[in-house]
Structure formats: C-alpha cells, structure tokens
Amino acid sequence: MQMIRWLNVTGFLSDRRGTSAIEFALILPVFVLILFGLVAYGVYFGAANSVQQLAADAARASIAGLDEDERRKLAASYINDNASGYMLLDGSHVSVDVTSSERSRSQFDVSISYDAERLPIWNMHIPLPLPGKVIRRSSTIRIGGI
C-alpha cells in the first residue's frame, strides 16, 4: 500500500523541486564551452595584435635604411632585440620579410610571420574551430618617411 502511494504519478509530475539543478546541468556544458572559447580566442587575438604592432614598429625602425637590404637588416635587428617584449610573443618564433611594395615604388612592406604553436590555447582541447597556428601580419611604410 505504501509502495503504491510512493509511486503516485500525479504527485511526481507536479513536484518542482530540483528543476533548477536539472536546468543547471543542461546549461553548464554550454556555458563552459563558451567561456573556454572566449579565453582561447582572446589569447589568439592578443597575440595577433602583438604581431601587428611588432610589424608596424619594425617598419618604423627600418625606414632609415637606404636600400632594401639595409631595411631588412634594420627590421630583423629590431625584431631580435624587441620581439620578446611584446605580449604573448616569443622572439625565437618570429620571421620577418622586407620587400618593395607591389602597390607603389615609394613604399615598402614589412611582413612578419609568427609560429603560434606554443600558445596555451592549443592545449585546451576544446571542441571549437580554432584559427591557424601561423599568424601573418604586415605593415606598409613610405620610403623616406612622411
């Protein structure tokens, strides 16, 4: 008799205790995925911004060069001396290329490639599509300055 009273279906369906716990259990994985995605992309965008800033600073440092070879040496020297000072960058994984601009003969481009494989986001194993492991940015500057 008590077993039948315990299995009262109408009482079970009308009981609302524990619904918050069930809702929390359903929403928590989605929330954690979004949170880890924000952290992962935040780190990546921070590194990409640092690579862009490094390219712009290297272009400004190399403007004193008289020819393409000297500008390349000045840019490489600036990057070797300063790359590790930029947020999330390791100077040993940065490569630079200085070339004449395709758009104008009075400009040159400083292009930087950064191997971002050592960023911590690749160890998170989140089921989100992550960006490429090589960050490429460039900066164009006029020959002779402003």
- The confidence score (pLDDT) of residue 7 equals 58
82: tokens are 């300063």
- The confidence score (pLDDT) of residue 29 equals 93
Please report, in angstroms and rounded to a whole number, the separation of the first and last CA atoms in the chain. 94
pLDDT 10s digits, 74-107:
999 999 999 889 989 998 899 988 888 888 888 8
- Convert 42-63 to b/e letters by CB count within 10 Å (16 or more is b): ebbeebbebbbbbbbbbbebbb
Confidence of residue 146 (pLDDT cuts 50, 70, 90): low
Rounded to 10 degrees, the C-alpha dihedral 63/69/72/76 comes to -120
Q: What's the pTM?
A: 0.77
pLDDT 10s digits, 50-77:
999 999 999 999 988 888 889 889 999 9
